[in-house]
Chains A and B, each alone.
Chain A
Amino acid sequence: METATASASFSDSSHRPGRLRRFSQLRQNLSGHRSRNSISNRVSWLSSSLPGRDSTVTQVGNSTAPCPDSDQPTLARYTSAPTSSSRALALDNQPSSTDSARSNSPNEPSRTSNVMARLRSSSAMQGRPPRTLGRTTTPDGPTTSPEPTAAAAAANDAPAEGISTPPVEMQEGEEEANKPKQKATIRFFPYQDTYQNSRPSLPFVPVARTLPSESCVIRVGRYSERDGIPIPNPAEPSDAPVGFKSKVVSRKHCEFMFVNGQWHVKDVGSSSGTFLNHMRLSQPNMTSRLYSIKDGDIVQLGIDFRGGEEMIFRCVRIRIECNRSWQQQPNEFNKNTESLIKNLGKGDTADYSGCRECSICLGSVLRPYQCLFMAACAHVWHYKCISRLLHSPDYPMFQCPNCRAFTDLSAEVDDTPEYETESKKAAAAKAGPAPEDETEGPSRSATQTPAEAPATNAAGESSEPQEQSEGRAEEGELVTDVENLHLREEQLAEADAESRGSDSPAPNGSNDDLARSATINIPGFQPTQPLNVPPGRSSHLRADTPVRSETSDDNPLTPRNDSGPLAFDGRAGMQ
C-alpha cells in the first residue's frame, strides 16, 4: 500500500525497479514539492505546541540567517585583506577554520572543534556505539523504506514522538531538515595525484550524498549490475551505495558514516585496501576501525593493478568534501554578495566601499564594467585574475582559493524554473511588501520569514491532518497531484492570488513552494483540475524539481548525470 503522503514516499523512490520506477520518480518529484511544505507546516505546527522550540523554528524560517552571524565574518575574512593577525592566521588554517566556523555557528552549538576530532583514535572509540546502532536500524539501505502508514502515523503524532524515532527514517530526516541543524552531507570528487608521476586514477562523476538520518551508512564497493543502477546525486537525502567500475575495488570495500557530528571512513575487509591520505587503513580482508575524515582528505580505494593501463584496473582516488552544506545554502554572505553584484553600476559607489575585493589582485571587484567570476561559494574575482585557476590541468574541477571549496565547472546549469516562478511570484506579490530575498535569484526553498510562520501554522493545522486521513493510495491520484502541481506553475499568478486569499493573510516571503502547499492541501481545490499527464510532461516535471533546499547537497553545480552513475570514460551512455 503506497500513499502519496509526503513523508513516506520519496525514501524508496530511487530503488524501485522497472515500471514503478517512473512513478516513484514522479512521486519523488511530487513529494519533493509537497513534503517540504507539509514539513514546514508540520514543524511550525509542531513547534507551536512545543513552546521551547519556537526560537529554533524562527531561525529556520528566517531566510536571512541559516547561519546568522558567524558565517559572514568568517567568509568575509577570506575576501577582504586580513587586518588583524588572528584573521590572517585563520586563513592559513583554512579547512579547519571553516569547519570550526561552522561549528561555532548558532546552528550547531554542541559541535566542538574539528581539530580535536583529528585525534582519530579517540573519536573512533567514541564513534563505535552509534555506528552499530546505525547498522541495526538500517541493515539494508535501499530496501528499508519506512512503511508509509507508519510514517503518516508518526507524522500525526510528531510532537509526541519527537525526532528520536530511528525506524521512520524519512520522518526523522525531514524533521532534521527543518531543524537548524545541518544535515550530514558528503561529496566524492575524483582526485588526480599530479605531483607523483603515477597514472591517472579512475575518472568518475562526482557523487553526492545527504544522509536521510545520521544512523545511515554509505557503502562503497565495486559497481555491480545486480545492484541496479545507483544514483550518483539524488535530489533527496539518500544513503544509496556508491559503486565504482574498477576491479581493484572490492564488492564491499569501505563505508562512510556520520558519527558524533563527524564523518568517518572504515574499511570493511577490502582486499586491495582503503587509503586515507596515503595511509592504509587495514590489512587485506580485514575490517578497520573508524577513521575520522575531514574536508579535503583523499581516500584511495585499491592500488593500480597491472600498472593500471586498462581503465578497469585503476584505483579510485576520492577527494572528500564534507560539512560544507551550510555554504551552499543562502547565508548572509552569499546573499549580500548577490545583491552587491546586482546593483553594480546602478547605485552610488559609496555603497560598496571596501567590502569586496579580489583576493588575487587585492583590487575591488565592485566596480562596474569589469569581467567577474563568481564561484558557487559566492566568492568573486576578476575573471582575468582567476582565469588561471579556472583553466588549470584540473579543469573542470575548480577549487576556490578563498575557502577551498570544490566545484565542478562542467556541471550542468541548474535552470530549474524556481527562479522564474519565484520572480513571477514576486511580480504577483508586488501588491504586498515583497522582501528582497524573494527576488534574489534562486534563493532556495525552505526560506520562511518569521512573519509568515503563523500563517503556515494555520494552514498546516487545518489541511495537514486531513490530507493524511484521506490516505490517497492510488497512483492515479498521484498523477492528478502531479498535474495539479504542473498547472500551478502555469497558472501561478492566479493560484497565488487564490492561495493568498484563502490561506495566508500575509505570505510575504513565501516562496512558491509554500503557496503550492497551500493550494494543494485545500480540499476541493484538487478535484477541480483532473487532467491526463501527457507523456512528455514527466521529464519536464522532473526538471522542475526545485533542488535548492534543505537537502542542500544538490546545489545547481551538482552535475545531473543522465547517462547513469558510472560515466567513467565518457562512454557510459553507449554501454
Chain B
Amino acid sequence: MALPKRIIKETERLMAEPVPGINAVPHEDNLRYFDVSIHGPAQSPYEGGIFRLELFLPDDYPMTPPKIRFLTKIYHPNIDRLGRICLDVLKSTDGPRKDNWSPALQIRTILLSIQALLGAPNPDDPLANDVAQRWKDDEPAAIQTAKEWTRTHAMA
C-alpha cells in the first residue's frame, strides 16, 4: 500500500523542523514505524533522561491515533510497565469523553503531549495503579523513585 501523502508530508516536516527535545526517525524498511526519543522535561523527575519510544502509524492513520509505547522503563503514574501511555488524545475508545484523538493532530503534537505528560503526571487518572497510589500517598518518595529510574534506565 502506498504511503499516504499526509505521512510523507509529516515526515518531511519533522525532519525539516525538528521539535526541540524530540527526535522521530522513520524506519527505512517501514516508513510507518518511527524510532522516537524524548528528552525528559526540565524541572521534572525525568530531567536529563532520554526516553526511547516506538511509534506506529496504523493503516487508518490519521483517522485513528498512532500507536505509541515507551521502550525505556519509566516510573510514571500514567505509563505502565509495558510502556503503554494513558493519554486522552491517544485514545479513541475510552473515558467519559471518548475519542479525543483528532485527525488534525499530528505526530509532533502527540509527542509534545507525551513530553508534557512527563512534566505533569496525573495520578488521578492512572494507568499504573501502584505508581499512582504511591504518587498520591507519598509524592516526594515517588518523585525520588522516578529520578532513580531515570538515572538507571534513561541515562545510558
Contact = CB atoms under 8 A, between A and B. Distances in A.
A188 B104 CA distance: 25
B82 to A, nearest CB: 22
Contact of B17 (A83, A92, A195): A83
Contacts of B108: 82, 88
B62 interface: yes
A91 B103 CA distance: 11
B109 A277 contact: no
A85 B19 contact: yes
Interface of A: 78, 81-83, 85, 88-89, 91-92, 94, 193-195, 277-278, 296-298, 359-363, 388-389, 401-402, 404
A232 B105 CA distance: 34
Given A85-B19, A362-B5, A363-B5, A78 B104 contact: yes
22 contacts: A82-B108, A82-B109, A85-B19, A85-B20, A85-B112, A88-B109, A89-B113, A91-B109, A92-B89, A92-B112, A297-B97, A298-B96, A298-B97, A360-B6, A361-B4, A362-B9, A362-B10, A363-B5, A388-B63, A389-B103, A401-B103, A402-B104
A512 B94 CA distance: 50
Contacts of A360: 6, 62, 103-104
B81 interface: no
A128 B96 CA distance: 28
B106 interface: yes
Interface of B: 4-6, 9-10, 13, 17, 19-20, 62-63, 89, 93-98, 102-106, 108-110, 112-113, 116
A92 B109 contact: yes
Contacts of A404: 102
A238 to B, nearest CB: 28
Given A85-B19, A361-B6, A401 B109 contact: no
Given A296-B97, A298-B96, A363-B9, 4 more contacts: A81-B106, A82-B106, A88-B109, A92-B112
| Residue of B10, B63, B95 with most chain A CB atoms under a 10 A cut-off | B63
> Which of B4, B13, B97 has the most chain A CB atoms inside 10 A of its CB?
B97
Task: Pick the 8 closest A-B CB pairs, nearest first.
Answer: A359-B104, A401-B102, A401-B104, A92-B113, A88-B109, A362-B9, A277-B96, A278-B96
Given A359-B104, A389-B103, A194 B112 contact: no
Contacts of A389: 103
Contacts of B116: 89, 92
A47 B147 CA distance: 60
A291 to B, nearest CB: 14
Contacts of A278: 96
B44 to A, nearest CB: 15
Nearest to B102: A401
